[in-house]
Structure 1
Amino acid sequence: MAHPQEDTLIARQITPTPVRLLVLDVLQHHPAALSLADVELLLGYADRITVHRTLKIFTEKGLVHRIEDGSGAVKFALCEPGCTPEHHQDFHVHFFCTRCRETSCLSTVAVPVIALPGAYQVQETSLVMKGLCENCASAG
């Protein structure tokens, strides 16, 4: 009987390997988006290149999306169910907390559609808001 995480990878045409299963587990059980360094730290010992390749494959196959939150490190979070390798459907706001430095997907807050003039063609839209997350704001 297959493990649910194996099924998740197979559904995205990703060959399950021990490292890929571990990276998926880390992403599924962490509430905030994670950088490559975060994933490595949470895994303990892991080959940086292997983890990097795993995150790249996950992105290419529509399993995770990249977030550039201005912190200097690209972060990764699981995609919404409708994402495909050809087109990510993660049109939601990302929130970067200036105190705890975590980035959260606010999947219930949609990125507004902005009409551009002339022949401009949007290929990617990203909206990162910055401030204090719920935990930091309530801590005072």
Structure 2
Amino acid sequence: MKTEIAEILKRNQLSVTDSRTSILELFRSSKSALAHADIEKKTSEQFDRVTIYRTLQTFVEKGIVHTIPTADNSVLYALCKDNCSQGHHHDNHVHFICDDCGVTYCLEHISIPNVQVPEGFITKQTDLVMSGQCDKCNA
């Protein structure tokens, strides 16, 4: 896995640092989106809050992770697919947040429909976030 992570960083013209490697490993091993606080809990002994924040911002800018807005105006982060690049996110899919367990899922098989905006408007990002009960909590 470390080789793959190093390749992702190098492909995005980023130095391979301990913080970038560790945070990217967290994303690759997670089955759901992560909040800054989640990453901080798992790496608190290694990296401070500012390092984590800067790493996440760099990953967003480079198209390595994308942001997911939440109802409480916080932000979650999820790993992008290979077709994202610096300044161009192509994660046009629905996100689902479970009201019970709080886990956020990327529903990559459900695309956000194309919405016609008025003439002169330019869309940069469209977010569709659904909430309810996930399959584990509904069982």
Bin for the TM-score computed over the shorter chain? over 0.9
Per-residue displacement from partner, 1:58-114 (whole Å, max 9, x unpaired)?
A: 111110001112244211000011001121000000001100111111111100111
2:101 matched to 1:90?
no
Contact 1:82 1:89 in 2 (8 A): yes
Scaled by the length of structure 2, the TM-score of the pair is 0.93
1:63 maps to 64
Runs of 5+ consecutive residues of structure 2 not aligned to the other structure: none
Q: After TM superposition, list the pairs within 5 Å mapping 1:1-140 onto structure 2.
A: 3-45=3-45, 46-138=47-139
Distance of 1:123 and 1:3 partners within structure 2: 33
Counterpart code for 2:9: L
Shift of 1:39: 0.6
Shift of 1:137: 1.2
Counterpart code for 1:48: R
Scaled by the length of structure 1, the TM-score of the pair is 0.92
Counterpart code for 2:10: I
Shift of 1:27: 0.6
Q: RMSD across aligned C-alpha pairs, in angstroms?
A: 1.3
Counterpart code for 1:86: G
Distance of 1:116 and 1:70 partners within structure 2: 24
Question: Relative to 1, partners in 2 of residues 1:54 and 1:120: Cα closer, same or farther, differing over 3 Å?
Answer: same
Runs of 4+ in 1 over 4 A off after TM superposition: none
Counterpart code for 2:15: T
Distance of 1:73 and 1:33 partners within structure 2: 12
The sequence identity of aligned pairs, in percent, is 36
